């Protein structure tokens, strides 16, 4: 989908190295009325959200040494790339084929290998087939109320009894509701991002 799009590249410091993220300059230019009518689909994937940076930095600080990792709603793919750079075997997923294409291109640009797949949380078969996942990543996924019940059901199935989910969020109301409900099944440790304390990384481990 790069053809004809105005693109920009950003350099971000993650885990002691500089990662390059290419993205459309103006995500609003990608609005597609038909897709919005169908799924209320908005091209949020095309922005690099502060939560992605926070999650990438948290992941980049950990040695993953072959750990299987899946990122949900990967957008441009920064946390997935940070996880691959930290030694993880990473699958980056999103329901937007354009997002997945950008994530794959960004991984190549940074010299790391990731696998990618177009998967929606409402049809998660390809993710469940490969569960349990030792580490599930997601940044800024809980921006709409409809995502709360879907992820409350999906995450326990993905992490199984021993995995963990790291979810970064800038304090959105649906995320707070998600965390309150998730606390029944998970122990949750939340840490503020040193670069912007409104963003926190929540580490969920099954009780
Ligand atoms: C706010 S954006 C965050 C993107 C990226 N994680 C970041 O933080 O920069 C939310 C992402 O979730 C994806 N998404 C939303 N609903 C989804 C669904 N039902 N299944 C899979 N991905 C979804 C969007 O396409 C988008 O990439």
CATH number (domain holding residue 177): 3.40.50.150
Q: How far apart are CA 23 and CA 141, in angstroms?
A: 18
122 lines ligand 1 (CB under 6 A): yes
Q: How far apart are CA 193 and CA 117, in angstroms?
A: 28
CA of 63 from ligand 1 middle (Å) equals 25
Q: What is the pLDDT of residue 2?
A: 57
Determine which residue's CA is closest to atom 20 belonging to ligand 1: 120
166 lines ligand 1 (CB under 6 A): no
pTM of whole model > 0.85? yes
End-to-end Cα, the chain, rounded Å: 43
Structural domains counted in the chain: 1
Answer yes or no: is 102 within a domain: yes
Closest CA to 178 of 48, 58, 57, 72: 72
Answer yes or no: is 72 within a domain: yes
96 lines ligand 1 (CB under 6 A): yes
- Residue 45 in contact with residue 31, Cβ under 8 Å? no
Record the tokens describing residue 128, joined without a space.
Answer: 């469940």
Q: What is the chain's Cα-based Rg? A: 16
Answer yes or no: is 166 within a domain: yes
Answer yes or no: is 179 within a domain: yes
Peptide bond into 29 cis (omega under 30): no
pLDDT tens for 70-110 read 999 999 999 999 999 999 999 999 999 999 999 999 999 99
Record the tokens describing residue 140, joined without a space.
Answer: 């800024």
**Domain hosting residue 11, numbered range:** 7-206
Answer yes or no: is 1 within a domain: no
133 lines ligand 1 (CB under 6 A): no
Work out the pLDDT band at 38, boundaries 50, 70, 90: low
- Residue 115 in contact with residue 133, Cβ under 8 Å? no
Work out the pLDDT band at 15, boundaries 50, 70, 90: confident
Answer yes or no: is 132 within a domain: yes
Nearest atom (ligand 1) to Cα of 49: 9
Answer yes or no: is 196 within a domain: yes
């Amino acid at each position: 989908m790069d053809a004809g799009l105005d693109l920009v590249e950003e350099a971000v410091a993650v885990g002691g190295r500089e990662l390059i993220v290419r993205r459309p300059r103006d995500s609003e230019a990608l609005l597609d009325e038909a897709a919005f009518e169908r799924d209320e689909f908005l091209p949020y994937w095309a922005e690099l959200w502060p939560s992605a940076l926070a999650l990438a930095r948290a992941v980049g600080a950990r040695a993953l040494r072959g750990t299987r990792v899946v990122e949900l709603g990967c957008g441009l793919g920064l946390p997935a790339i940070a996880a691959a750079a930290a030694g993880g075997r990473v699958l980056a997923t999103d329901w937007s084929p354009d997002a997945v294409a950008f994530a794959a291109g960004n991984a190549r640009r940074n010299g790391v290998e990731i696998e990618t797949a177009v998967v929606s949380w409402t049809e998660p078969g390809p993710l469940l087939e490969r569960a349990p996942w030792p580490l599930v990543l997601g940044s800024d996924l809980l921006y709409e109320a409809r995502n709360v019940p879907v992820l409350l059901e999906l995450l326990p199935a993905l992490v199984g009894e021993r995995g963990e989910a790291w979810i970064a969020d800038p304090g959105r109301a649906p995320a707070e509701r998600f965390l309150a409900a998730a606390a029944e099944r998970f122990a949750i440790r939340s840490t503020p991002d040193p670069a912007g304390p409104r963003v926190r990384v929540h580490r969920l481990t099954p009780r």
